[in-house]
A = this chain, B = another copy of it.
């Protein structure tokens, strides 16, 4: 049964909430503020009961896939399990009910939590200092690039260019552009790594930064990373690490040790905070010592004398602020909880199992799906659906068909370097049994394509809706419900 829009449920005079009456003499509003400041017509919000809202949202929620209900083999996204303890801790009134401008004397626990999180992130990445302010990965990238810009500017020249591999996530070039840089794309070699010669060709003293992720979005480790770093540093460029793939490396290798100068992390990937249907996440940024003075303001400082913490705003070289206040506290507390649950050993095991799980899928599917990079993969594997495409089914068809088997689709058509890319990241929180069922589904689909590729064009068959007309959505734009055509 189709769930109506909340507006369809509205009926005049119906109410979900009542509010306390004003308990003092109430003057007419116009004696408080001039008439022309006031709203003339009520906003046409729906008029519904609390039960209407509860039933509506509950029913709608059941139309979703989610980690709590389905396996998400979604490459680059690290859709791991989000432990429930994280939510419990984050919703304690001592964290959830603090005003950002409360005196530090009343928020020592929160400051201590932030400080501890910064320290643990330094340990995990091999960086010297962290800011928790950025709200997501892309926000971290922009922060990082603005830090790099400030760094170079302080040295006399902000420089002009940022090098980005062709396999990079769209946010990388976009962030570089917003930070005022020209984007120079460097192609990958056959192993899916940065092509060192082509890299050398574009590297010069106008390069402010080289943005990489390692493992790359091809799911393979950049074996030349130390050389790349040395080359970049030689011309005075800085190395930026897109932390989206850190789930491959915790406890195994650190971007700081590889030579990266700036790092962002996606706590909603590596550190198990929920995706929430598209956020909120958080994108803490770590830097080497030389960049520390530029970090956004304020910074947490521990008073050596009495061990108390305070916010320091006096930061003359700071780039300023990237968002209001300090960061997404509720999310950061979840990430901290997760890190403290694991410890060093536990985190290393996270990456080990993530890598084994991915290679297991690779081993079990590489006969049926083209595997562009034959070396062992790291935490994710990128197949190409070329063969299936020739047989008449696209990567999209495969993705949609998987939904019928109760699996979310892999990331498709990314990285753009791999035709008909199917990017699969199982994460460490899925069991071998789940992987086996997924593998079986992928094999059955490959088989279906050889016998009935046509059928897949109409997949999925078991979802609440069949394929949605995206062309119509864009052409006949309806993004704000006005009213039902009668």
* Chain B residues with CB under 8 A of A1: 406
A55:B84 contact, CB within 8 angstroms:
no
* Chain B residues with CB under 8 A of A433: 9, 11
* Chain B residues with CB under 8 A of A373: none
Q: Assuming A58-B68, A62-B62, A406-B1, is B50 touching A84 (CB within 8 A)?
A: yes
* Chain B residues with CB under 8 A of A70: 55
A51, B430: Cα distance in complex, Å:
8
Binary flags per residue of A36-62, CB closer than 8 Å to B gives 1, else 0: 000000000000011110110011001
B59, B68, B69, B84: the one within 8 Å of A69 (CB): B59
A83, B49: Cα distance in complex, Å:
11
Which A residues between 399 and 420 are near B, CB-CB below 8 angstroms?
406
Name the residue of chain B whose CB is nearest to the CB of A430: B51
Residue of A11, A51, A67 ringed by the most chain B CB atoms within 10 A:
A51
A50:B431 contact, CB within 8 angstroms:
no
A81:B50 contact, CB within 8 angstroms:
yes
Copies in the complex: 2
Q: Assuming A11-B433, A59-B69, A431-B11, is B52 touching A84 (CB within 8 A)?
A: no
**Is A429 among interface residues, defined by CB-CB distance under 8 A?**
yes
**Is A200 among interface residues, defined by CB-CB distance under 8 A?**
no
* Chain B residues with CB under 8 A of A67: 51
**Is A198 among interface residues, defined by CB-CB distance under 8 A?**
no
Residue of A11, A49, A430, A431 ringed by the most chain B CB atoms within 10 A:
A431
Name the residue of chain B whose CB is nearest to the CB of A406: B1
**Is A315 among interface residues, defined by CB-CB distance under 8 A?**
no
**Is A323 among interface residues, defined by CB-CB distance under 8 A?**
no
**Is A321 among interface residues, defined by CB-CB distance under 8 A?**
no
**Is A14 among interface residues, defined by CB-CB distance under 8 A?**
yes
* Chain B residues with CB under 8 A of A52: 431
Name the residue of chain B whose CB is nearest to the CB of A62: B62
Binary flags per residue of A301-321, CB closer than 8 Å to B gives 1, else 0: 000000000000000000000
Q: Across chains A and B, which 5 residue pairs bring their CB atoms closest together, nearest first? A: A51-B81, A58-B68, A1-B406, A58-B69, A51-B429
| 8 cross-chain CB contacts under 8 A | A1-B406, A11-B431, A49-B429, A50-B81, A50-B84, A59-B69, A62-B62, A62-B69
Interface residues of A (CB under 8 A from B): 1, 9, 11, 14, 49-52, 54-55, 58-59, 62, 67-70, 81, 83-84, 406, 429-433
Other than the known A51-B67, A62-B62, what 5 A-B pairs have Cβ atoms closer than 8 Å? A11-B432, A11-B433, A49-B431, A55-B69, A62-B69
